[in-house]
Amino acid sequence: MRISENKLRGAVSNHIILMTLALTIIMPIMVLVFNSIKPDEEFGINPLGFPETVRLMNYYDAFVIGNYAQVMMNSLLLVTGTLTVCLTFSSMAAFSLAVLNPNGKATILIGIYLLVGLSIPAQLFILPLFIIWKNLHLNNTFIGLILIYSALNAPFAVFLIRSYMVQLPRELFEAAIVEGASTFQLFTRVALPLSWPVFLTTGLVVSLAVWNEFLFAVTFIHNEEFKPISTILYSFQNRREENYALISAASIMMAAPLAILFILFQRNFIAGLTSGGTKG
């Protein structure tokens, strides 16, 4: 009896602490949500609470003034472009490292190279990269930024996909070889279809990284019409500093697609984002 009473008290105090911590996250986000549906004139009298009159038109205004139809399209293009280039190239490399040459010297060398590449701070290479991109006329282009994002996310994608492909049973490949499959067919017909779960995880993490990316977007895209959502929101914030209703609605529109994906695929997201953690 005493034990269970103790346990109960313990559980209650656990929940009190956890709930307090959770509220420090929920409340600021709620303020953003409230602000996005608050009429402008209410900000002076009601800084943090739920609005007295709900004004959903803030979203429409932000969508029109921020030209969000175009901006969302830009970001979507960057995401799909990066997913295509990065996942194609990375899965080829992962296939090579996991299936074609799993124990070769090259595998270790490439592994070390990619690990070093992951740890280099962007500040070391961003300036020469900017100069190279200027000379290749890749500044201010989607393809230029897609190449950068693909390269930056490639080491992570290669490691993650490789770790999945090494677990595929070798007999499958041997059977395919006996039936006369070429190396390319081994890749497209055997390795790729069997690895789809890891592509979901990798794809989600890469999409998240590209959608939210700020440093390279602000550096490499200066034309308003090509800017992705993160840098548009940045200039939006600076230009309409005091119009919180508008920029809050704009922020929610940026966060919403990812929030929905996160709710749907929470497990994959967390597994992908923390996989660097468990591999060391």
Partner 1 sequence: MKNLSNKEMTSWLFLAPVLFIHLLVVAIPSLSSLALCFTDWNGFGKINFVGFENFLELFDDRVFKKAIIHNLIWTVLFLTVPIALALLAAFLLTGVKRFQMFYRFVFFFPYILASIVNCLIWKYLFHPIHGLAAFFKDIGWESLATSPLTTKETSLYAVAFVDGWHFWGFLVVIYITAMYQVDESLYEAADIEGASKWQTFRFVTFPSIRPMFLFSFLIIIIWSVPAFDYVYILTSGGPAYSSEVVANFMYFEAFRNMNVGYASAVGALMFVYVFTILGFFWTLRKLGWEI
Which one of 54, 60, 64, 104 is in contact with partner 1 (CB under 8 A)?
104
Torsion sign across C-alpha atoms 119, 122, 127, 132: positive
**Interface mask (CB under 8 A) for partner 1, residues 232-261, using x and -?**
-xx--x------x--xx--x--xx--xx--
Cβ atoms 114, 155 nearer than 8 A: yes
**What's the min distance (Å) between Cβ of 86 and partner 1?**
9
Interface stretch with partner 1, choices 53-61, 66-74, 170-178, 211-219 (CB under 8 A)? 211-219
Nearer to partner 1, 19 or 73 (CB): 19
Position 30: which residue type? M
Query: Which distant-in-sequence residues (6+ apart) come within 8 Å of 97 by Cβ?
Result: 107, 110, 111, 158, 162
| 18: amino acid identity, one letter | L
Name the residue with tokens 């290669």: 158
What angle (nearest 5°) sits at the alpha carbon of residue 90, between those of residues 84 and 96?
135
The interface mask with partner 1, positions 41-80, x = CB under 8 A, is: --xx--xx--------------------------------
Nearest approach, Cβ of residue 160 and partner 1 (Å): 13
Q: Judged by CB under 8 A, which of 77, 100, 192, 194 binds partner 1?
A: 100
Q: How far is CA 136 from the centre of its chain?
A: 27
Angle at 162 between CA 158 and CA 167, to 5 degrees: 165
d(CA 3, CA 191): 54
Choose between 126 and 176: whose C-beta lies nearer to partner 1: 126
Residue selected from 40, 172, 212, 240 as contacting partner 1 according to rule CB under 8 A = 212
Q: Closer to partner 1 at the Cβ: 48 or 175?
A: 48
Question: Of the ranges 61-69, 98-106, 171-179, 193-201, which one interacts with partner 1 (CB under 8 A)?
Answer: 98-106
Phi, psi of 136 (to 5 degrees): -85, 5
* Contact string (CB under 8 A) for partner 1, positions 157-196, x = contact: -x------------------------x---x---------
Q: What's the closest the beta carbon of residue 126 comes to partner 1, in angstroms?
A: 7
CB 229 within 8 Å of CB 254: yes
